Structure 1
Amino acid sequence: MTANITDIDTLIIGAGQAGIAMSEHLTRQDVPHLVLEKNRIAEAWRTARWDSLVANGPAWHDRFPGMTFPGADEDSFVPKDKVAEYFEAYVEKFNAPVRTGVEVYSAVKNEGADGFTVETSDGIFNAQRIVSATGAFQVPVIPAIAPEMPELYQIHSAQYRNPQQLPEGGVMVIGAGSSGVQIADELQRAGKNVFLSVGPHDRPPRSYRGRDFVWWLGVLGLWDAAANEPGKEHVTISVSGAHGGKTIDFRELANQGLNLVGRTESFNNGVVRFNNDLVRNIQAGDDNYLSLLKQADEYIAKNGLDLPEEPEAHQLLPDPECMTNPVLEMDLVEKGITTIIWATGFATDYSWLKVNAFDENNQPKHHRGVSSESGVYFLGLPWLSRRGSTFIWGVWHDAKYIADQIVIQRQYRQYSNKA
């Protein structure tokens, strides 16, 4: 029996924000393509986030250019379910050729021939090009230092939904990026005794002088920074749209009742040890925060903008007890800790993509998403082309560039076919 084989010019893997943006641009340029998604459209927004999550950027900014969020105030932070609905509506608006419920098993380069053979749960595809739009947040990572203590309830932040799912007792949240801080804050507000392990981070103001920080990064040209600063490749960003959008202030969180500790170093017989770096990490975040305020002030003065002054934004609260007398080790049982939430990021999984497009660490080799394997493209990765690459609007612009490269290659192939 002959296998069902579908010929297609470009096959996009993943129907999240990256895959949908890619499909829009290919549609505009009349490139035949399909989008394959193993779950539903924008599945990560539906089931891989906690219940109260909202977008980290305001509705006027954190969207595709072709459609606003229906019924949302432009300065509001859209709930996760509405974000998923937005992408569903976007697919319908542009009639994107998305096939859901299709899992990709493997993609290999055709030997001695053009294109790739892609095996899926819906048959075999012969594709001239492949765009991996699965993004960077695929496999939740829990570090090897995690204690082997059956009595502890341990989950990754991707598995957290709400305070009610946790057992009675205190909680330790490890990781102080946007996810870790918001989860720790929610748990503390729900009455939990919470310890938050704080590592290096950037801490932008939620807003300053009447403008959201996304606006400031835009006018200052910082969204378009083409490369990360050396040594800060893995530094997280602490920003939140929760509670209408507030600047994350670790001193304020400590005054609120959160217990702050440094980076988690090790576990041994129920005792957790922390690096003595809490003060250094918070002060580095302060420096990042104050630097943006300074750049904003200079921009306002240089361009004569009439924006309200905000001198109080430059004033930092006094260091709380947890900073002046940091905790360096803690007995989990004595402190009543029954849950650990690991907000420690994600790894990628390209085991299905069997091509020569990866380095020795199995990370994609590419320039602005164009990989070292001709015909293979990556989309949705951090710093793919700029600081804004992982944001909704940023991935749309990255997809436009990749679509242009695909069109260029198609034109070359069409010329050679006439020879």
Structure 2
Amino acid sequence: MKDLAPPHVPVIIVGGGQAGLSVAWELRKHGIESLVFERHGRFHSWRENRWDSFCLVTPNWQCRLPDFHYDREYGGTDPDGFMVKDEITAYLDAFAARTAPDLREGVEVRRVAPQPGGGFVVETSAGAWAADQVVIATGGYDTPIEPDYAGDLDPGIFQMHSVEYRNPEQFPEGGVLIVGTGQSGVQLMEDFIRAGRKVHLAVGPAPRSPRRYRGRDATDWLYEMGHYAITIAEHPDPVKALTQTNHYMSGRDGGKEIDLRRWHVDHGVELHGSLAGMDGTQLRFLPDLARNLDDADRSYCGIREMIDAHIARGGIDAPAEPPFARVWEPEEEPVALDLAAAGITSVLWAIGFRPDYSWIEADVFDARGKPVFERGVTAHRGLHFIGLGWLNTWGSGRFLGIEEDSRHLAGQIAAQMADARVGA
């Protein structure tokens, strides 16, 4: 008896987050059938991988899923606010209900294999499918990053990665060392301070941004200036854009900027340089705290200067702001710390994630394992990516840019499929 051919679908989308469902909606508008596989449940990372106090860092008006903007089709009433976790998932669920994708939850894609005659076999935990086109919408947050030397830490010290963090009550009594000062690290710092805990922070090279400046949210000014419309091809320093950590600030309590110097002065946060190693309870740091703080401030002031120049060019009536002033400078930079002596009982890793594309059998990755594409379209016909940072602009991979990216990609898929029909 011959083996039955796997069922065929024109487009398979791997990943049931906002990027995958946005592409499915845009494909439907082209009359193209798609099937979405999600190994957990829809919007899993928003429901399960965010902490209890999580809220957006960018204002709600930037939530612009295709044909479903927060302050238009969704009917949101606080465009300048910052949705908390449950509000975000409610918005996403409403989008899914409106677009009704063919979504198979709890199905893990284990292999995507190009076929000699074109198309792909997609092997899943629920069987195999054939597809003409495949869209990878899994994002870049597959594997939590912890350094190898984390294994050298005294086993009596509690460790956790931010992906598992929900609230400070998960941690034993005592001080906590948070490693990483991207958007996650600085917000978790505040969580512990509010809980009355002693916080030590290993400060990395992440830049920071103003929150409100000269009467408006800084992101409003940057959007008006066209800053977020700059493509990666137009960017003056694309390597920096692709590798730089996001600017840190917060949407909590209506939005605030984060100045680590002030958190040291006002809340007693102990600041250290980049973590370099561990041995038992002994930690080593690089002597780069002052440089990292200065670099973050340079980024902060640079954004203010861009806004000032925009206001001056346009003759815009906007309130003046006092010049930036540092409230604290490190007098010395100790490169060693004994956790036991400092009363630190926990380490919280907030240094990011790396993607896992080992299940994709196509030659579309560079030497570092990152996919190579032009606006999501790879050199291997029919294989595409969506929902990654700087797919095209800063907004790619965020709510702000997903409408444009998914619309463009759906158009490219439709064109490739039309070409295939003509050539058949």
Say whether the 8 Å CA contact 1:59–1:72 is kept in structure 2.
no
Which residue does 2:171 correspond to in 1?
166
- Encode CA deviations 1:142-167: one digit per residue, 9 max, x unaligned: 01121332111111111111010101
Q: In 2, distance between residues paired with 1:380 and 1:49? A: 18
Q: 2:306 aligns with which of 295, 317, 325?
A: 295
Which stretch shows the higher mean deviation, 390-399 or 131-140? 390-399
Does residue 268 of the first structure (1) align with residue 279 of the second (2)? yes
| SS of match in other structure, 2:8 | strand
Say whether the 8 Å CA contact 1:109–1:115 is kept in structure 2.
yes
Q: 1:246 aligns with which of 256, 276, 299?
A: 256
Q: In 1, distance between residues paired with 2:403 and 2:359? A: 24
Does residue 178 of the first structure (1) align with residue 179 of the second (2)? no
Which stretch shows the higher mean deviation, 12-21 or 348-357? 348-357
Computed over aligned residues only, the root mean square deviation of the Cα atoms, in angstroms, reads 1.7
The amino acid across from 2:129 in the alignment is F
Say whether the 8 Å CA contact 1:14–1:132 is kept in structure 2.
yes
Which residue does 1:37 correspond to in 2?
38
- Encode CA deviations 1:9-46: one digit per residue, 9 max, x unaligned: 11100011111111121111111111111111110001
- Encode CA deviations 1:128-183: one digit per residue, 9 max, x unaligned: 00000001112111011213321111111111110101011110000000000000
Distance 1:305 1:269, change over 3 A: same
Say whether the 8 Å CA contact 2:153–2:279 is kept in structure 1.
no
- TM-aligned CA deviation for residue 271 of structure 1: 1.2
Distance 1:76 1:4, change over 3 A: farther
Q: In 2, distance between residues paired with 1:209 and 1:334? A: 45
Which residue does 1:375 correspond to in 2?
382
Q: Which segments of structure 1 move beyond 4 Å, counting only runs of 4 or more?
A: 1-4, 69-72
Q: In 1, distance between residues paired with 2:40 and 2:164? A: 17
Correspondence list, 1:353-368, <5 A: 353-368=360-375
| SS of match in other structure, 1:164 | helix
| SS of match in other structure, 1:317 | coil
Distance 1:219 1:267, change over 3 A: same
- Encode CA deviations 1:82-112: one digit per residue, 9 max, x unaligned: 212211210111222222111111111112x
Unpaired segments ≥5 residues, structure 1: none
Which residue does 1:122 correspond to in 2?
126
Unpaired segments ≥5 residues, structure 2: none
Correspondence list, 1:80-159, <5 A: 80-111=85-116, 113-146=117-150, 147-159=152-164
| SS of match in other structure, 1:399 | helix
The amino acid across from 1:274 in the alignment is F
- TM-aligned CA deviation for residue 216 of structure 1: 2.1
Which stretch shows the higher mean deviation, 370-379 or 209-218? 209-218
Which residue does 1:351 correspond to in 2?
358
Q: How many residues align?
A: 412
Which stretch shows the higher mean deviation, 211-220 or 332-341? 211-220
- TM-aligned CA deviation for residue 65 of structure 1: 5.1
Which residue does 2:294 correspond to in 1?
283
Q: 2:405 aligns with which of 398, 409, 412?
A: 398
Question: TM-score, normalising length from structure 2?
Answer: 0.93
| SS of match in other structure, 2:65 | coil
Q: 1:316 aligns with which of 306, 313, 325?
A: 325
Identity of aligned residues (%): 36
- TM-aligned CA deviation for residue 225 of structure 1: 2.9
Question: TM-score, normalising length from structure 1?
Answer: 0.94
Say whether the 8 Å CA contact 2:10–2:133 is kept in structure 1.
yes
Q: In 2, distance between residues paired with 1:306 and 1:376? A: 49
Which stretch shows the higher mean deviation, 150-159 or 388-397? 388-397
| SS of match in other structure, 1:126 | strand
- TM-aligned CA deviation for residue 397 of structure 1: 1.6
Say whether the 8 Å CA contact 1:64–1:396 is kept in structure 2.
yes
Q: In 2, distance between residues paired with 1:132 and 1:232? A: 22
